[in-house]
């Protein structure tokens, strides 16, 4: 629904944002205009190499047998070493 909230005496950015209907917000975004009450983030690329993952890749279901998957899930849940299951 595109029902508008009636303006009140407050003029904070948060209150202004709640006064816009979805259609009005859509129109502002499509026109490239700023939406009142929305914080604009200054995000820039770092152009650095991605950080390598520190977690072990989880096996796909078809890569392990059902028994191995049960053992894998138990080890993962309780953070066990291979030596503890032998």
**Claim to verify: residue 64 and residue 35 sit in the same structural domain:** no
Q: How many helices, marked H, and strands, marked E, lie in the chain?
A: 3, 0
Rounded Cα distance, 61 and 44, in Å = 38
pLDDT band for position 85 (50/70/90)?
low
The verdict on residue 51 lying in a domain is no
Q: What is the pLDDT of residues 21-30, one digit of tens each?
A: 999 999 999 9
Q: How many domains does the chain divide into? A: 2
**Claim to verify: residue 2 and residue 34 sit in the same structural domain:** yes
Torsion sign (Cα): 23, 28, 29, 35: negative
The verdict on residue 50 lying in a domain is no
Q: What is the pLDDT of residues 60-73, one digit of tens each?
A: 777 767 777 788 78
Find the domain containing 16 and state its range. 1-39
**Claim to verify: residue 29 and residue 61 sit in the same structural domain:** no
pTM given for the model: 0.33
Would you state the structure tokens that stand for residue 15, as one six-digit string?
């209150």
**Claim to verify: residue 35 and residue 61 sit in the same structural domain:** no
């Amino acid at each position: 629904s595109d029902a508008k909230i009636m303006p009140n005496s407050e003029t904070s950015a948060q209150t202004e944002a709640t006064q816009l209907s979805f259609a009005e917000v859509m129109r502002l975004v499509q026109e490239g205009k700023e939406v009142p009450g929305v914080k604009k983030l200054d995000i820039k690329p770092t152009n650095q190499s991605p950080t390598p993952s520190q977690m072990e890749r989880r096996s796909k279901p078809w890569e392990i047998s059902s028994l191995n998957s049960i053992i894998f899930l138990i080890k993962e849940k309780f953070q066990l070493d291979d030596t503890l299951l032998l």
